Amino acid sequence: MRLRFRHIRDHLSHHGFARERLEQDRREQTLVAEIRALLPGKLGAHCLDLKIADGRLTLFLDSTAWLTRARFLAGEILTSLKSYHVDAIGFQIRLPEHESSMQEAASRRVRLSETAARHLLEAADHQRDPGLSEALRRLARHGPRATPEGPD
């Protein structure tokens, strides 16, 4: 995509404000790449963006699983980023903005097996609590249409 808009970038680089903004973007991208490289383990690959303001680094991660792992590694991350004058660290979730990633997530949804759905419906039939019974029935709807086998 960067090559596709090269002519626009070349044109804007000849104008003062636009040139400054392009340079700032390049510096920010370089900073993001440098900090990602310093993050422990595979955490850098799950860091979508970051922000540094007033000595506080905020990492934007792609899932709660990686956010939790990053919290455990906060001390190690702060130590590795001392040269960037980072005194505190925070974490936030930011979902990828690509539509294709949304489609991939939808296609990865796990469906219940027929057996699991049948067991949920059977459990719902034997519940005294109507709220729990209804919740089990809603959950069973995530599987193939199943009906509990009952006595004939």
Domain count, the chain: 2
User: What pLDDT digit, counting tens, does each position of 66-98 carry?
Assistant: 999 999 999 988 888 888 888 899 999 987 765
How far does the chain reach from its first CA to its final CA, in angstroms? 64
Mean pLDDT of the chain: 78
Residue 101 lies in a domain: no
Residue 74 lies in a domain: yes
Residues 120 and 89 reside in one and the same domain: no
Distances (CA, A) of 74 to 2, 39, 71: 33, 10, 5
* The predicted structure's pLDDT at residue 19: 66
The residues with which 91 forms a beta bridge, in sequence order, are 59
43 neighbors 69 (Cβ within 8 angstroms)? yes
Q: What percent of the chain has pLDDT over 90?
A: 9
Q: Whole-prediction pTM value? A: 0.49
Is the pLDDT at 146 greater than 60, yes or no? no
Residues 115 and 57 reside in one and the same domain: no
Residues near 140 by Cβ (< 8 Å), separated by ≥ 6? 112, 117, 118, 120, 121, 124, 146
**What is the band of 150 on the pLDDT scale with cuts at 50, 70, 90?**
very low
Nearest partner of 142 among 65, 125, 119, judged by Cα? 119
Residues 7 and 64 reside in one and the same domain: yes
136 neighbors 121 (Cβ within 8 angstroms)? yes
Residue 106 lies in a domain: no
